[in-house]
Copies of this chain bind each other. A is one copy, B any other.
Amino acid sequence: MIPPDHPRYRSLVIRELLAENVKKGIVSLEGLTAQGRGEAFDYFIGERTTASAILAEKTAAALLLTARHPVISVNGNAAALAAYEIAALQKASGALVEVNLFHRTEERVHLIEDLLRSAGSDIFSGPAERLLPLSHDRAWCRREGMFSADVILVPLEDGDRCEALVTMGKTVIAVDLNPLSRTSRRATLTIVDELTRALPNISEACRTITRSEREELKSSLDNNYLLSEAIREMTMRLSHALD
């Protein structure tokens, strides 16, 4: 039991939520460490959505809405943290939701699919094949799902998988709190924001941006600018700590 007078109560409660999901088999142990990395980077952007992240989230909405075959790729951490936000984004964007795991077992895939379904997502499932040019379990995906997608939203993705998808010619939208990561640098569009803040913002933009705004957002997409702004924000906050 975490005492409510603990100054980092909220952060510790989220850790406990993830710990419970480890016990259920949804989150991998390695996923907990990844969550901690995210927490540290979130700390540096002030645990809030920055102006450049809002722009990235609107651009993500534009890419999803104008895609031929958009897919949201979900892993254990994303499902544990944001199952309801994923279901809402599916409704707003019309994208397929597909489970893809780094630490893959059939049992974990089914547990995560069940969690997402219970939160309201319509899951694209069925037999997976080793279709991506990668050496480990993340090579698996479904021919009519991620493999055929033109636009893929990958929350909390690892670097080599992101790279493989970009190399295959896909438009990759990453949600990654580390603006220096390989995923951030290789993605077509990187949203440097915490997942449960980012997804509702994308859904909201899906519901509100006009057709002409979509084209404008897409044509002015500059991922280097978005990453630089995130780094600038972190640098500024660190410098202020010196005052």
Residues of A at the B interface (CB closer than 8 Å) are 1-3, 5-8, 12, 15-16, 18-19, 22, 29-30, 32-41, 43, 135-136, 158-160, 178-180, 182, 228, 231-232, 234-235, 238-239, 241-242
Contacts and interface: CB of A to CB of B under 8 A. Distances in A.
A135 B5 contact: yes
Contacts of A41: 40
A19 to B, nearest CB: 4
A38 B3 CA distance: 23
A3 B136 contact: yes
A235 B231 CA distance: 10
Contacts of A3: 135-136
Contacts of A135: 3, 5
A83 to B, nearest CB: 19
A40 to B, nearest CB: 3
Nearest to A239: B235
Contact of A29 (B32, B37, B38): B32
A33 B15 contact: yes
Given A18-B33, A228-B242, A238-B238, A136 B40 contact: no
Contacts of A40: 36-41, 178
Given A136-B3, A241-B231, A19 B8 contact: no
A34 B18 CA distance: 13
A39 to B, nearest CB: 5
Contacts of A1: 136
Contacts of A39: 33, 36-37, 40
Nearest to A33: B36
Nearest to A232: B242
29 contacts: A1-B136, A3-B135, A3-B136, A5-B135, A6-B136, A7-B160, A12-B30, A18-B33, A19-B29, A29-B29, A29-B32, A32-B32, A33-B35, A33-B36, A33-B39, A34-B36, A36-B37, A36-B40, A37-B37, A37-B39, A38-B40, A40-B40, A40-B178, A43-B178, A228-B242, A231-B239, A231-B242, A234-B238, A235-B242
Contact of A30 (B5, B7, B15, B228): B15
A205 to B, nearest CB: 27
Contacts of A15: 29-30, 33
